[in-house]
């Protein structure tokens, strides 16, 4: 779901960069130096998780897990996911340079929204209830990400509307998979390390 350089119009790119800078600043303020190791290790593990390919029918999809990142990191998801995107662009050639801002916004803002909406819900009730809320949160963050990508394409010109719609519908199976995986990951975390979401690692 990376947008590349040259596809978007200038106002979208500049607006995205400014908004992403704001989000990153919010995230950095929430990170005192004691918490940097946790945020760094989590950022690295989401980077690794995004390379896992999960089979679906004859093909496979790679994970994004930005919902889970938001649930664990809160606002710090902004800098953490930005670092991931920066490393992917520089060393793997995925995405682009001028679009780093808008790409960060499209992935990290849904993560933060997921944390705001579902953060308390997943810590309440039984592990199964938490898992179900986690699953809904996982699907929500992918839906929001694709919607943001579609909006940034659509705002850059009507010619991108079909591509924007295609992006959205192509990601419906991804939503399902992310929902299941996030749900089970939350369930495991609730059972193995119950204090994890209670503390809300980095709020």
Partner 1 sequence: MAHALEPQAKTLAEAGGSEPYGVIADLDPRMRIAITCLFAVVTVALSSIPSLLTALSVSIGLLLMSRLPIRRTLKRMAMMDSFIIFMLVLLPFSMHGDTMFTLFGFAASWQGFWKAIEIALTANAVILALMVLVGSMEPVTLGHALHKLRCPEVLVHLLMFTIRYIEVLREEYLRLCGAMKVRGFRPGTNWHTYRSFGYLVGMMLIRAIERSERILDAMKCRGFSGRLLLLQEFNLTRRDYWFATMMCAICVSLLILDFQ
Pairing of strands 59-62, 53-56: antiparallel
Contact region for partner 1 (CB under 8 A) — 104-112, 121-129, 140-148, 175-183?
A: 175-183
Residue 201 interacting with partner 1 (CB under 8 A):
yes
Contacts of partner 1 in 149-168 (CB under 8 A):
158-163, 166
Cβ contact 145:64 at 8 Å = yes
Phi-psi label, residue 32: left if phi above 0, alpha if psi -120 to 50, beta otherwise: beta
Q: Could you tell me how many residues make up the chain? A: 203
Reference 76, options 25, 129, 128; nearest CA is 25
Residue 184 interacting with partner 1 (CB under 8 A):
yes
Q: Which is nearer to partner 1, 108 or 186 (CB)?
A: 186
Contacts of partner 1 in 99-138 (CB under 8 A):
none
Residue 193 interacting with partner 1 (CB under 8 A):
yes
Reference 23, options 95, 94, 115, 132; nearest CA is 115
Contacts of partner 1 in 22-81 (CB under 8 A):
24-25, 28, 31-34, 36-45, 47-49, 51-52, 54-57, 63, 65, 68, 72, 79-80
């Amino acid at each position: 779901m990376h947008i590349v350089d040259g596809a978007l119009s200038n106002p979208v790119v500049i607006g995205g960069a400014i908004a992403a800078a704001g989000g990153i600043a919010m995230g950095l303020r929430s990170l005192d130096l004691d918490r940097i190791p946790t945020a760094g290790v989590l950022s690295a593990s989401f980077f690794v998780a995004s390379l896992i390919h999960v089979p679906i029918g004859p093909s496979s999809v790679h994970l994004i897990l930005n919902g889970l990142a938001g649930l664990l990191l809160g606002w710090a998801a902004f800098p953490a996911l930005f670092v991931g995107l920066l490393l992917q662009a520089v060393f793997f050639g995925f995405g682009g340079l001028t679009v780093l801002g808008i790409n960060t916004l499209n992935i990290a803002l849904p993560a933060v929204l997921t944390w705001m909406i579902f953060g308390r819900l997943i810590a309440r009730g039984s592990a199964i209830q938490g898992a179900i809320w986690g699953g809904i949160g996982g699907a929500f963050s992918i839906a929001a990400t694709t919607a943001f990508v579609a909006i940034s394409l659509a705002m850059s010109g009507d010619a991108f509307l079909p591509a924007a719609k295609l992006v959205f519908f192509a990601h419906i199976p991804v939503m399902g998979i992310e929902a299941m995986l996030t749900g089970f990951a939350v369930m495991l975390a609730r059972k193995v390390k119950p204090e994890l979401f209670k503390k809300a690692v980095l709020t």
